[in-house]
Amino acid sequence: MGKIVILGVFVADTAYRADRPPRMGETILGNSFALGPGGKGSNQAVAAARAGGDTHFITKLGQDTFADMALDIWASSGVVPEITQHDDSYTGAAYIFVEEASGDNAIIVCPGVARTISPDYIDGRAALIGGATVFMTQLEQPMEAAVRALQIARDGGARTILNPAPADTLPEGMLALCDYVTPNESETEGITGLPVTDLDEAREAAELLLAKGVGAAIITLGENGALYHDATQSVHVPAMAAGPVVETTGAGDAFNGGFATALAAGRDPIEAVRFGCATAGISVTRPGTAPSMPTLQEIEALLAEG
């Protein structure tokens, strides 16, 4: 197993379940509330570590109760924290609305002190990033930090993954630093300007991503699985059902963490996508984000079922 290094953000998830979202100016009664560990980068690190990956996570935390939550989930999951803590700001938090009937969600993220992660901060961790087998980042921390980390990882020979979430405008040349980019349908449309409502449209958008310099595009399609598309092959990997869907909040992070782990273990990219789909398929049968991530044994059992 090679080393996985992930740059990202930890936030405490405050999850509210209700029959519908409130309208502006309206107050409604919810059905339940939960507080737990989250943040895309942290969730992906937990998913990768639980799936058997040697996983290191770079971020900043405050010195508060939410930071304690972060350290606890990483310790229990096997994530190696590569962090600093600061008393002049706060650890991130997220508001998550979950629609009771469908499990669909809407999210607001406040990264807190992680918003101050800078290229200089990344340069201070260049040896770790440059020595990775697989490096992955998202867009919850500042864009310039993500770009710098991708540059260092690429120079060091790591296989680089960008999960372009939450959706944002990418600077010129950023996609060319990525061996793999893993947007969902809406993020793909935001990057390419092309709608993604079926496989043909996903392939057309993936071709445009390749034209922007990406090594391979992996477009996640929710209940329809994922499309892997590179210069020589285009393969649709169906979703893997592990039971009734409870909550989809952490599905994308589960996929990315599983995919990174499979790559670091030497699996070919298509097998790594299948591994990611299995990871996501189990995660959606459980509530929460980081707590929903499955173990390697659970993932292998689902893959064995076909």
User: Annotated catalytic sites, by residue?
Assistant: 253
> What amino acid is encoded at 105 in this protein?
N
Task: Yes or no: say if 248 and 105 are a contact pair by the CB < 8 Å rule.
Answer: yes
Alpha helices (H) along 119-215: 119-123, 126-130, 143-156, 185-192, 199-211
**For the chain, percent helix, then strand, then coil, each to nearest 5?**
40, 25, 35
Element (H, E) at 181: strand 180-181
> In a 10 Å sphere around its CB, with 0-12 CB exposed, 13-18 middle and 19+ buried, how is residue 62 labelled?
buried
The Cα angle at residue 253 between residues 81 and 64, in degrees rounded to 5? 40
User: Among candidates 270, 229, 263, which has minimal Cα distance to 153?
Assistant: 263
